[in-house]
């Protein structure tokens, strides 16, 4: 599709973020399984459920626009998730792995925050009030997820990873 209008861009970006959310839904159960911190595992599981609702919102926007999400593949999210997948294959101290999982998850959240911020702005400019409201709701959820991950990291996960490093003699 040629991008000849903001509406074209809006629809293409919606398709991209829809693909991203579907990819995230497939990745989150692995994150839950690999988190050793119960709080982190719970945060990933809670976000998985939230992501399901975000997909439903996107589908409602597509329906409102008379568009289909199609089969577009979000290559950006594919790359971010591939990096996260590498962490899942690593062996090492559980606390260090948890810190790495948080880092990977925050990259996902930041990607989504950027996407939803742009989409909400486009929807507002295009007079798509319902879409702007739904996208704004998702944006706030993504920002809250990022803040929760920071809280978990700063509230003990990173310190536990540091202790693991010191205990193993890897102190630098």
Alpha-carbon distances, residue 168 vs 43, 92, 99, 150, 155 (angstroms) = 28, 11, 16, 25, 22
In the CATH scheme, what architecture does the domain 6-162 have?
Answer: Up-down Bundle (1.20)
Q: What contacts 50, CB < 8 A, 6 or more positions away?
A: 141, 145
Which pair of structure tokens corresponds to residue 80?
């971010």
Query: Which regions in the chain score pLDDT beneath 50?
Result: 170-172
Q: What is the pLDDT of residue 165?
A: 67
Q: What pLDDT, in 10s, does the model give residues 108-157?
A: 999 999 999 999 999 999 999 999 999 999 999 999 999 999 999 999 89
Q: What is the pLDDT of residue 3?
A: 87
Q: What is the pLDDT of residue 168?
A: 62
* Exposed/middle/buried for residue 172 (C-beta within 10 Å: 0-12, 13-18, 19+): exposed
Phi/psi at 68 (5° precision)? -120, 145
Q: What is the pLDDT of residue 117?
A: 98
pTM: 0.91
**Which sequence spans correspond to the domains of the chain?**
6-162
């Amino acid at each position: 599709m040629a991008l000849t209008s903001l509406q074209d861009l809006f629809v293409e970006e919606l398709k991209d973020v829809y693909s991203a959310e579907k990819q995230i839904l497939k990745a989150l159960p692995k994150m839950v399984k690999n988190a050793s911190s119960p709080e982190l595992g719970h945060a990933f599981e809670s976000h998985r459920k939230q992501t399901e609702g975000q997909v439903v919102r996107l589908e409602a926007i597509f329906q409102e626009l008379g568009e289909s999400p199609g089969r577009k593949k979000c290559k950006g999210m594919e790359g971010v998730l591939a990096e996260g997948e590498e962490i899942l294959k690593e062996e090492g101290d559980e606390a260090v792995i948890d810190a790495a999982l948080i880092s990977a998850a925050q990259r996902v959240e930041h990607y989504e925050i950027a996407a939803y911020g742009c989409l909400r702005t486009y929807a507002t400019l295009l007079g798509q009030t319902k879409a702007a409201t739904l996208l704004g709701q998702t944006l706030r959820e993504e920002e809250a997820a990022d803040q929760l991950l920071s809280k978990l990291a700063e509230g003990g996960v990173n310190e536990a990873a540091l202790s693991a490093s010191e205990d193993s003699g890897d102190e630098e």
